Structure 1
Amino acid sequence: MSTNTDMRRLSRLSAILLQLQTKRMLSANNLAEKFGVSVRTIYRDIRVLEQIGVPVASLDGKGYSLAEGYKIPPVMFTEQEANALVTAGQLLHLNKDSSLISAYTEAVDKVKAVLNYAAKDKAELLTERVAVSPASIKQATSNSLTAIQNALTSFAVLRISYTAEGKTESSERLIEPFAFYYSAQQHWTLIAFCRLRNDFRMFRLDRMGVVELTDMKFTPHQLNLQEYLQEKEKNFITTDKQLS
């Protein structure tokens, strides 16, 4: 086997390990398609990982996952990857949700912490040399995005107070978070099943008052996000008209 082939395989093994770290389960077909190799090659790669002590579990023929509790050393970022995150962080100030800005800033700080000194200095320099027009940055209009994200992924019911378009008084809702949509008006919108209306609705985060996590759980919805959005667009229903 040539040196180039060995290097490609070593690179692929590292990449497979990274994929297994970031996904709960991956099939051999998924991995073969991602890396442009045969399924048989993936089988061989998985055996190599097992032989060097990586606890790869096979889940009833459905795919592979890392054994729960297995810890992988911190991932090292390239200079280009770190710079991309730094630049994206500046653009993130346009999103108008303070909780997301805070969480992203903390994440980027953790990335910087594992960089070598040279890359760290360059990342700091880039941070000082990327700016967004002040006219584009308005005061944050919500601070609940990250809390709602947690509810969405945990299938937890939220209790919110909500002021609909054109109304002055808020109403209390129990909602089941389904998906997020960033509108053309640059507002974060939550698509959720509203128990008051017994239907899916769009709720602008800047119109939410209280956002409270309840102890209630709901069954995951099978709604397809893209189909839902396409149907709304086809019917010429704007976000504001859906907020009721």
Structure 2
Amino acid sequence: MNRIDRLVAIVIFLQSKKIVRGKEIAGHFGISLRTVYRDINALCEAGIPIGAEAGEGYSIVEGYHLPPVMFTPDEAKALLTGAKLAEHMTDASIINHARSAMMKINSVLPAETKENLDRLKNSMALLNTPAIDKNFRDDVLLTIQDAIIAHHVLKMEYYVAGRDEWTKREVEPLGLIYYANHWHLYAWCRKRRDIRDFRTDRMRTIASTTEKFKQRPGVTLQEYLKEFAKIENPIEVQIRFNKRTAAFVRERFQFGIIEENHVGENIIITFITPDLDWIVPSLLAHSKIIEVIRPDILKEKVMQEARQIIDFYDKK
């Protein structure tokens, strides 16, 4: 806790009791008595009316309160919606802080707004959110966020689904993106010497190092997204596959996904691409598990390629 946060916390601590001894403040915040004296003096100089009684302790002059943070009912509903999304779309490292923040917000809301919020909370739900795979960690987002802010290199063990193996990577984090039901870390991979997409639920271990990295010219998340957004005449593709092969399929068509729907035992994803030629080999190689819904021209390309393979072997 930095000093500014501690000074505010001391005022709240003093407000919670009639009188507080210096030793109690020191023990609560893990600081020395000398630091307590300095902090109390600093608060007094800032205009906080703190009284001191020899042999008794410190107290806030009656009637003084920190100005409360007030939220309108609509602001409170917006914050509740954000917290609800966080519970289903983030991991434990964020969820716990979101819940703590909502508790603090509830504590300053008027009784009527609080009751309305409780009713709304019980009337909101998210469906089709992915279950956490217990083989992977679910507490990585905060580590990544801190590394992005501090420009610290990350070290991690990452599962490559396509090769069914674990790899060790050192990366320079650029940003986090949520799509296809998962958070993805976009980072400069020192092993591949290029920007790579890492799904956070496939990180077995992750740690921030003390090594700071310098921003590479032109290598930012925003620049990367701008390049993708520059696609002229994007083609919309829709494919269907069984849920059992979901991880395998998403690994190949992960970027550009704009919609995902679960229909019975199947998943239908829609994504955009600048052209179709690169998709055909993957669809042909996995034609037993992936079905093209649209566009028709892609179906024709796959069938044409299949006929060429049949003709090739018929001639042997």
Decide which of 157, 177, 183 is 1:181's aligned counterpart. 177
| Structure 2 Cα separation of the partners of residues 232 and 164 of structure 1 | 23
**What is the CA distance between 1:232 and its match in structure 2?**
4.1
- 1:99-141 alpha-carbon deviations (Å, 9 max, x no partner): 22222222222211221222222222222222233xx233235
| Structure 1 Cα separation of the partners of residues 156 and 73 of structure 2 | 42
- 1:25-76 alpha-carbon deviations (Å, 9 max, x no partner): xxxxxxxxxxxxxxxxxxxxxxxxxxxx9xxxxxxxxxxxxxxxxxx84521
| Structure 2 Cα separation of the partners of residues 170 and 224 of structure 1 | 26
| Structure 2 Cα separation of the partners of residues 171 and 75 of structure 1 | 47
In terms of fraction of residues, the more strand-rich structure is 2
Q: 1:119 to 1:157 in 2, by over 3 A?
A: same
- 1:130-169 alpha-carbon deviations (Å, 9 max, x no partner): 2233xx2332353211111111111111110011231222
Decide which of 159, 162, 165 is 2:158's aligned counterpart. 162
Decide which of 196, 201, 224 is 1:228's aligned counterpart. 224
Match of 1:30 in 2: none
Decide which of 75, 78, 82 is 2:69's aligned counterpart. 75
The total of aligned residue pairs comes to 169
- 1:13-35 alpha-carbon deviations (Å, 9 max, x no partner): xxxxxxxxxxxxxxxxxxxxxxx
Match of 1:240 in 2: 251
Q: 1:162 to 1:242 in 2, by over 3 A?
A: farther
1:140 and 2:136 matched = no
| Structure 2 Cα separation of the partners of residues 241 and 155 of structure 1 | 29
Match of 2:98 in 1: 104
Identity, % of aligned positions: 34
| Structure 1 Cα separation of the partners of residues 75 and 252 of structure 2 | 40
| Structure 2 Cα separation of the partners of residues 128 and 102 of structure 1 | 19
Structure 1 length normalisation: TM-score?
0.60
1:199 and 2:194 matched = yes
More displaced, 141-150 or 206-215? 141-150
In terms of fraction of residues, the more helix-rich structure is 1
**What is the CA distance between 1:85 and its match in structure 2?**
1.4
Asked if the contact 1:99–1:146 (Cα under 8 Å) also holds between the matched residues in 2, the reply is: yes
CA RMSD for the aligned pairs?
A: 2.9
1:119 and 2:130 matched = no
Aligned partner of residue 170 in structure 1, secondary structure: strand
Q: Which runs of 4+ in 1 moved over 6 A?
A: none
Does 1 or 2 have the higher relative contact order (CA < 8 Å, sep 6+)?
A: 1
Alignment-mate amino acid for residue 240 of structure 1: E
Unmatched segments (≥5 aa) in structure 1:
1-52, 54-71
| Structure 1 Cα separation of the partners of residues 250 and 151 of structure 2 | 24
**What is the CA distance between 1:87 and its match in structure 2?**
2.5
| Structure 2 Cα separation of the partners of residues 166 and 176 of structure 1 | 23
Aligned partner of residue 174 in structure 2, secondary structure: strand
**What is the CA distance between 1:208 and its match in structure 2?**
1.0
Structure 2 length normalisation: TM-score?
0.47
Asked if the contact 2:162–2:251 (Cα under 8 Å) also holds between the matched residues in 1, the reply is: no
